[in-house]
Amino acid sequence: MFKPTVGPIIGHTTTNDARIFLRGEWQKDALVFAGIRYRRAGEERWNNGLFTQLIPSRDMSDVIVLQDLTADTEYEYQAGWFSPMCPLHNPQSVQELPLQWPREVYHLRTQASKAAMPRAYIVGSCRYLRMTAGQPSAPHLGDRIFAAIAKLAHCASPPINAVLMTGDQVYVDDLNFIAPDREYTEILAKYRSAFSQPNIAKLMSGIPTYMILDDHEIEDNWPANKNSNDEYLYKNAMAAYELYQASHSPAGEFNTQNQPSHSPRRYWYQFANGDIEWFVTDSRTRRNLTGNDRRILDGEQEQALCDWLIHSPARVKFVVTSVMFYPDRKRLGDDAWKAFPEQRLRLLETIRTHGIKNVVFISGDVHGSLTSRLTHSEDPAFEVNTIVSSPLCNSKLLPYAKASTFILDQPLARTAAGDYRHELTSDVISQDNFAHLIVDSDQIHVRYHDRDGHFLESVAIALR
State the CATH number of the domain containing residue 40.
2.60.40.10
pLDDT, mean of residues 205-209: 98
Q: Which amino acid is at 118?
A: P
**Alpha helices, DSSP H, located in 126-183:** 139-155
Beta bridge partners of 373: 385, 423
Label residue 361 by pLDDT band (50, 70, 90).
very high
pLDDT, mean of residues 169-179: 77
Residue 287: pLDDT over 70: yes
Considering the domain architecture, whether residues 329 and 224 belong to the same structural domain is answered as yes
Min mean pLDDT across 64-68, 93-97, 136-140, 365-369 is at 136-140
Q: CA dihedral in degrees (121, 122, 126, 130; nearest 10)?
A: -140
pLDDT, mean of residues 109-129: 95
Q: Which residues form the domain of 17?
A: 6-109
The CATH number linked to 242 is 3.60.21.70
pLDDT, mean of residues 371-376: 98
Q: Is residue 114 part of a domain?
A: no
Give the model's pLDDT for residue 175.
64
Considering the domain architecture, whether residues 337 and 414 belong to the same structural domain is answered as yes
Considering the domain architecture, whether residues 123 and 103 belong to the same structural domain is answered as no
171 burial type by CB count under 10 A (0-12 exposed, 13-18 middle, 19+ buried): buried
Q: What distance in Å separates the CA atoms of residue 354 and residue 193, rounded to the nearest whole number?
A: 46
Q: Is residue 87 part of a domain?
A: yes
Considering the domain architecture, whether residues 93 and 10 belong to the same structural domain is answered as yes
Considering the domain architecture, whether residues 95 and 222 belong to the same structural domain is answered as no
Q: What angle do CA 102, 107, 108 make, to 5 degrees?
A: 135
Is the Cβ–Cβ distance between 445 and 387 less than 8 Å? no
65, 81, 109 — which closes off a domain?
109
Residue 155: pLDDT over 70: yes
Considering the domain architecture, whether residues 266 and 338 belong to the same structural domain is answered as yes
Give the model's pLDDT for residue 253.
81
Q: What distance in Å separates the CA atoms of residue 195 and residue 182, rounded to the nearest whole number?
A: 19
Of 153, 147, 128, 267, which is closest to residue 210 (Cα–Cα)? 267
Three state DSSP letters for 351-412: HHHCCCCCEEEEECCCCCEEEEEEEECCCCCCEEEEEECCCCECCCCCCCCCHHHECCCCCC
CB within 8 Å of 139: residues ≥ 6 apart: 129, 193, 197
CB within 8 Å of 405: residues ≥ 6 apart: 329, 330, 331, 366, 368, 428
Give the model's pLDDT for residue 133.
67
pLDDT, mean of residues 216-234: 92
Of 265, 211, 214, 253, which is closest to residue 237 (Cα–Cα)? 214
Give the model's pLDDT for residue 176.
57
Residue 446: pLDDT over 70: yes
Considering the domain architecture, whether residues 167 and 76 belong to the same structural domain is answered as no
* Torsion sign across C-alpha atoms 227, 229, 235, 241: negative
pLDDT, mean of residues 5-11: 97
Q: How many domains does the chain divide into?
A: 2
Query: Which 3 state secondary structure label does DSSP give 153?
Result: helix
Q: Is residue 399 part of a domain?
A: yes
Min mean pLDDT across 261-275, 362-376, 406-420 is at 261-275
Give the model's pLDDT for residue 261.
67
DSSP states along 277-343: EEEE---STT-B-SSS--BSS-HHHHHHHHHHHHH---SEEEEE-SS-SSSPBSSSGGGSGGG-HHH
Min mean pLDDT across 94-108, 120-134, 439-453 is at 120-134
pLDDT, mean of residues 264-293: 95
Q: Is residue 260 part of a domain?
A: yes
DSSP secondary structure letter of residue 110: P
Residue 180: pLDDT over 70: no
Give the model's pLDDT for residue 177.
57
Chain-wide mean pLDDT for the chain?
94
pLDDT, tens digit, for every residue of 385-437? Answer: 999 999 999 988 889 999 999 999 999 999 999 999 999 999 999 999 999 99
pLDDT, mean of residues 14-37: 96
330: Cα within 13 Å, side-chain hemisphere: 10
Residue 262: pLDDT over 80: no
Going by their DSSP bridges, the two strands 433-439 and 443-450 should be labelled as antiparallel
Q: Is residue 1 part of a domain?
A: no
Considering the domain architecture, whether residues 367 and 386 belong to the same structural domain is answered as yes
Q: What distance in Å separates the CA atoms of residue 44 and residue 235, rounded to the nearest whole number?
A: 46
45, 78, 109 — which closes off a domain?
109
Label residue 369 by pLDDT band (50, 70, 90).
very high
Q: Is residue 189 part of a domain?
A: yes
Considering the domain architecture, whether residues 101 and 139 belong to the same structural domain is answered as no
Considering the domain architecture, whether residues 129 and 98 belong to the same structural domain is answered as no
53, 80, 109 — which closes off a domain?
109
Residue 178: pLDDT over 70: no
Is the Cβ–Cβ distance between 46 and 39 less than 8 Å? yes
Min mean pLDDT across 225-229, 245-249, 258-262 is at 258-262
Give the model's pLDDT for residue 131.
74
Considering the domain architecture, whether residues 82 and 124 belong to the same structural domain is answered as no
Residue 269: pLDDT over 90: yes
Considering the domain architecture, whether residues 253 and 377 belong to the same structural domain is answered as yes
pLDDT, tens digit, for every residue of 58-92? Answer: 999 999 999 999 999 999 999 999 999 888 899 99
